[in-house]
Amino acid sequence: MDTKIALIGILVRDWNSTDDLNRVLHDYSQYIIGRMGIPYKPKNANVISVALDAPQDIINALAGKIGRIPGLTTKTISSEN
């Protein structure tokens, strides 16, 4: 199985969305290398980065599920191989 290294950046603006986010991340925990969250109170936001090592279809599925959670903004970057 060919895997890629990817980083999903998540900006949380609605704190009520974090339960849904954590459920989705838990479902993909076998692919997560690490996760870092930075609260930024002056803008009432939380910045989260999630590093993955996964097949491209898994990266796409996870990014899509996160992107459909209200109150979040997300971007994904990945290695070429």
SS3 34: strand
CA torsion sign for 35, 41, 42, 43 is positive
**pLDDT at position 1:** 77
pLDDT along the chain (81 residues), means of 10: 95 94 97 97 95 97 96 93 68
Quote the distance between the C-alpha of residue 47 and its chain's center: 10
**pLDDT at position 74:** 96
Could you give the domains of the chain? 4-78 (3.30.70.1150)
Quote the distance between the C-alpha of residue 34 and its chain's center: 10
**pLDDT at position 62:** 98
**pLDDT at position 21:** 97
CA torsion sign for 17, 8, 64, 59 is negative
C-alpha count within 13 angstroms, C-beta hemisphere, residue 77: 3
